[in-house]
Amino acid sequence: MTAIFKRELRSFFSTPLGYVFSAVYLAASGLIFALFTLRSSTSDVSTYSSMMLFGFVAVLPLLTMRSFSEEKRLRTDALLLTSPVSATGMVLGKYLASLTVFAGNLLLSCVYIIPLGKYAADHSPVSAARTFGCFFAMFLVGACFIAVGIFVSSLTESQVVAAVGTMAILFFFASIALFNGMIDSYAVRTVLSWISLYSRFTNFTYGMFDFAALVYYLSFAAVFVFLTVRVTERRRWI
């Protein structure tokens, strides 16, 4: 797994993809931060973090679309499938490499909070906890979205199809809460609220650690990583 992780991480920055992703991510997050935080003259970043969920829908597929689809297109996947690395190690190596690149850019975007000191009424631990909670929640949602992107990429050899398919799935999970109020059926609303990524996001933005939400996000990512492992194992034995 370590060899796959290093290989994938190196490939992000030996090709333009890593630089393009970083440029697009930082530009998009900077624009959203300026519109929803700086323009409002507030130190509250909860609106920014909520809007970034929809920014992730457009940006994160750029990071995951080539994970497996490029290997299939270039026919280099045969080398991986016949290597002594297990399917689990292969998938985890690619997943963790993408997650590392995302986490690095998320950390870089934390510099946006530096100018907020002049807007803060105080520098209480509560304010710090809310800010940390927002960025931590963004990381968790990003980890889930990357798992979805890796899975979709394993299903096709077209990067365009992988990107568009990932965007469609991510938009569904990100927007469930927005359309939930339009549904009359209480049972349907309950189910949709339960699977909504956004509904579990809110507690973190108030500075509250939601253990149930943490378990949900980790389980969500684990399910899609597991599905990707199953797809990879199936290809190994075909």
For 7-38, how does the pLDDT look when each residue is reduced to its tens digit (9 = 90+)? Answer: 888 888 888 888 999 999 999 998 998 888 87
Tell me, what DSSP letter sits at residue 116? G
CA distance linking residue 146 with residue 197, whole number of Å = 14
Tell me which of 221 and 200 has the higher pLDDT. 221
Tell me which of 32 and 73 has the higher pLDDT. 32
> Residue written as tokens 């440029």?
23
Sketch the domain layout of the chain as residue ranges. Answer: 2-237
> For residues 93 and 152, is the Cβ–Cβ distance under 8 A?
no
Mean pLDDT of the residues in the chain: 83
* Contact partners, residue 12, CB within 8 Å, separation at least 6: 18, 21, 97, 101
Q: Taking the model in full, what pTM does it have?
A: 0.89
The predicted structure's pLDDT at residue 82: 65
With left for phi above 0 and alpha for psi between -120 and 50, is residue 41 left, alpha or beta? left
CA distance linking residue 119 with residue 48, whole number of Å = 15
